[in-house]
Chains A and B, each alone.
Chain A
Amino acid sequence: MLLVTYRVLLTTRIRVFAYSLIVLTLLSWLSLVALGLVSSLLWLYEGVFGVGEGLVISSRGFSPLTALVYRSEIESRLANISGITVEYYLVAPVLLGDKVLVLRSTSSNLSGDCVLVGIDMARELGVTSGDYLLVSSLFTSEVYYLEVCGYTSGYVVEGSYDLVARIRGVSHGYYSYAVVRGPPEALDKALRALGVEPGEYKLAGLLVAVLSRVGNRTRAALYRALTEAYISGLGLQRDYILYFAYTVAVASVLGSLLLGLDVARRTSSVLGVFRLVGASRRHLTLVAVLLGLALSTIAFTASLLLYRHFEIFTLNIQGYVFKPAEPGVLVLVVYSVLTLLYTLGLALGVHREVE
């Protein structure tokens, strides 16, 4: 009986269900886009620098582009820890016309003025190997001639350490950040050597230690991400931004409740027939719940496919194109709310119509 009611409802009111399915898919997709874009903004520096794992050591500042750490100080602190590799990077923001490019030091052998331009950046700027870039340093007020000698990945421009240090206006030995990689036990020792307890932080994935000097003592604060470490200095808390994104995502699918109620109203004549042939109110409500679950699941799956394959919403900030981030577990928020609201609307509507 349950299956028959289910099938008859679907087949006799296929247009109604198809229309609500399309609207639900679009709402769910918009909700995912909102969450995805905020997530990618919260991984801004990680995306630009290509840092995805390990312990990143930097110092307090406006941004990691302005922070500086002294290599020998970090080396002396990590000297007795075995099983780790440490990579040091110096980055400098440079102006190319009205655009800001990130220039990063590389261990590749590059002669004086030679730089490697990130493939995506080269496409954005329209430069090819052999072209030159006339960039301005934000730290020294000087203009530099950079010859494009090849390509690298991402949205950075890579040059020799000496060139980047000159443009950054720092003497030898200063870097913007260091990336420590190794097993969790070694990273634990590294953190303790920096003067911090890992506490609730997991020693897997990415961990950021931001050093600050108070008098003669160096303190370190731990964060889960590089962007989080620097936006917190501007009064923006990562968790609050995420809660805001969740609110936007949930609010954008609120309409699914009304859609559920509308579908129930449009199927009232069919429901009336079922009542006449003896179907109970509970039975019909159960069918509505099952229909709601099925439709919202199909709509959500379709929206996930849309999200993965259509990049309509991107953020282009200074030539750096942000695509909505891989949704991960955040999709569960959208799915749960969409399913709950639509099913609730449908069940309430059916319950009311049958009454």
Chain B
Amino acid sequence: MEFLVAVNTLLVTAIRRGLYTTILASVLAPVLLLVVLFSLPSTSSLEYFLLEQERQVLVVTTTKTSGDCYSAKLVEGLLVVNTSSLRAHILLISAESSRVLRTLGLTRGEINATSSLILPRDVYTALEKPRVVRVVVNNTTRDYTVAGFWSSNIALLVSSEVALDSSKYACIAPRSRVLLGVIESAESSLLSTAELWILVLSFTYLPVIYTAQKRVVESLSTSLRVLANSGVGPRSLYFSTLTALVALHVLVVLYVCALGVVLVYTAWAALSYVTVLPPPVIRSHVASLIPVELVLGVLVALITSRGAVKCC
């Protein structure tokens, strides 16, 4: 009961004397910047520009990324037609050839063979547009049906009959998805740098928060003395000051957070009159970094509350 009365007295005095403005000034910059930086328009709004990018892209990766992924391997082999032979790099993909080639738009006709070969355009011409090519890879020879040609400088061999023990994958995904992935990765990199910057800024503001809280405790000295004279013990005085400071800190941080959100949307609404701007997106980083700001305030309050015991 004594504790609650002390907390109530300190909070009412602090609010009546406008001491929350000191705390507000100390947390304004880190909290406001945190909300503003993590509410910038998302790059996913660029999706609009990528709508007509439905072309499929074949990407060779070491991990299974987005889209359909198949085991793949790049080998060096010999392409033989009658007496002519050419050395070429061949990308082997372990998959059903008709599915892969049709998705990539590399063939329009029906493919009945389980394995198909796509030749580089110059090789296709040099070998006099063959229908079947003998492929020699690692002393293994096999004939493959030529399904077409492409502009690349490697041959593409898609076969469901080859089992590849490879750590590489050939993934087929729409270009828009690949580009969005790239843009999102750039955004995530930007956000992680912003996160680090905000954290360093918050820690740099610790002395400023300390200064503000110390000033609040000093300004409450009269009330603290009255409480001490009324029989409130030093321990209770310490915890009631701590609670009052933490309550003020939490309220002010949440207030600045709300203020930031209002500011962001007001700025967006105002700018929308002069330019086409995607809407702001409040990211989850705000929810994860606001507790950090609160914890920092509590840590500082643990130290500054000692002043309450010393002064009385």
Query: Do A and B interact?
Result: yes
Report yes or no: B154 in contact with A143, Cβ–Cβ below 8 A: yes
- How far is the CB of B107 from the nearest CB of chain A, in Å? 13
Q: With the chains together, A165 CA to B49 CA distance in Å?
A: 24
Q: With the chains together, A261 CA to B175 CA distance in Å?
A: 57
Report yes or no: B208 in contact with A259, Cβ–Cβ below 8 A: yes
- How far is the CB of A172 from the nearest CB of chain B, in Å? 13
Report yes or no: A142 in contact with B275, Cβ–Cβ below 8 A: no
What class of interface size applies to chain B in its complex with A?
35 or more
Judged by DSSP, the binding face of A is mixed
Q: A252 contacts which chain B residues (CB < 8 A)?
A: 29, 33, 201
Q: With the chains together, A134 CA to B277 CA distance in Å?
A: 38
Query: When A134-B74, A252-B201, A259-B207 are in contact, do A145 and B153 touch as well, CB less than 8 Å?
Result: yes
Report yes or no: A317 in contact with B186, Cβ–Cβ below 8 A: yes
Residue on B with the closest CB to A233? B49
The answer to whether A30 has its CB under 8 Å from any CB of chain B is yes
Q: With the chains together, A126 CA to B36 CA distance in Å?
A: 37
Q: With the chains together, A144 CA to B190 CA distance in Å?
A: 30
Q: A37 contacts which chain B residues (CB < 8 A)?
A: 193
Q: A143 contacts which chain B residues (CB < 8 A)?
A: 58-60, 91, 152, 154, 156, 170
Report yes or no: A97 in contact with B59, Cβ–Cβ below 8 A: yes
Report yes or no: A235 in contact with B211, Cβ–Cβ below 8 A: no
- How far is the CB of A119 from the nearest CB of chain B, in Å? 21
Report yes or no: B60 in contact with A316, Cβ–Cβ below 8 A: no
Q: B74 contacts which chain A residues (CB < 8 A)?
A: 134, 145
Q: B105 contacts which chain A residues (CB < 8 A)?
A: 141
Residue from B104, B182, B212 having most chain A Cβ neighbours under 10 A: B182
Q: A102 contacts which chain B residues (CB < 8 A)?
A: none
Report yes or no: B65 in contact with A98, Cβ–Cβ below 8 A: yes
The answer to whether A12 has its CB under 8 Å from any CB of chain B is no
Report yes or no: B204 in contact with A142, Cβ–Cβ below 8 A: no
Q: With the chains together, A289 CA to B271 CA distance in Å?
A: 39
The answer to whether B266 has its CB under 8 Å from any CB of chain A is no
Report yes or no: A140 in contact with B153, Cβ–Cβ below 8 A: no
Residue on A with the closest CB to B121? A166
- How far is the CB of A209 from the nearest CB of chain B, in Å? 22
Q: B33 contacts which chain A residues (CB < 8 A)?
A: 248, 251-252
Report yes or no: A314 in contact with B193, Cβ–Cβ below 8 A: yes
Of A33, A95, A134, A265, the residue contacting B197 (CB under 8 A) is: A33
The answer to whether A74 has its CB under 8 Å from any CB of chain B is no
Residue on B with the closest CB to A41? B190
Of B32, B58, B170, B197, the residue contacting A30 (CB under 8 A) is: B197
The answer to whether B285 has its CB under 8 Å from any CB of chain A is no
Q: B156 contacts which chain A residues (CB < 8 A)?
A: 143
- Which of the segments A19-27, A178-186, A193-201, A220-228 contacts the partner chain? A19-27
Residue from B25, B153, B190 having most chain A Cβ neighbours under 10 A: B153
Of B29, B182, B271, the residue contacting A254 (CB under 8 A) is: B29
Query: When A142-B150, A248-B33, A318-B182 are in contact, do A26 and B204 touch as well, CB less than 8 Å?
Result: yes
The answer to whether B167 has its CB under 8 Å from any CB of chain A is no
Of B32, B186, B193, B278, the residue contacting A235 (CB under 8 A) is: B278
The answer to whether B265 has its CB under 8 Å from any CB of chain A is no
- How far is the CB of A299 from the nearest CB of chain B, in Å? 12
Residue on B with the closest CB to A139? B55
The answer to whether A34 has its CB under 8 Å from any CB of chain B is yes
Report yes or no: B189 in contact with A234, Cβ–Cβ below 8 A: no
Report yes or no: B58 in contact with A141, Cβ–Cβ below 8 A: yes
Q: A261 contacts which chain B residues (CB < 8 A)?
A: 211
Report yes or no: A234 in contact with B46, Cβ–Cβ below 8 A: yes
**A-facing mask of B203-227, CB < 8 A → 1, else 0?**
0110110011001000000000000
Q: B164 contacts which chain A residues (CB < 8 A)?
A: none
Q: B181 contacts which chain A residues (CB < 8 A)?
A: 98
- How far is the CB of B61 from the nearest CB of chain A, in Å? 4
The answer to whether B196 has its CB under 8 Å from any CB of chain A is yes
Query: When A98-B65, A142-B150, A318-B185 are in contact, do A265 and B215 touch as well, CB less than 8 Å?
Result: yes
Between A and B, 13 residue pairs with Cβ closer than 8 Å are A30-B200, A30-B201, A97-B60, A98-B185, A113-B153, A134-B91, A136-B57, A138-B57, A138-B179, A144-B153, A145-B153, A251-B28, A317-B189
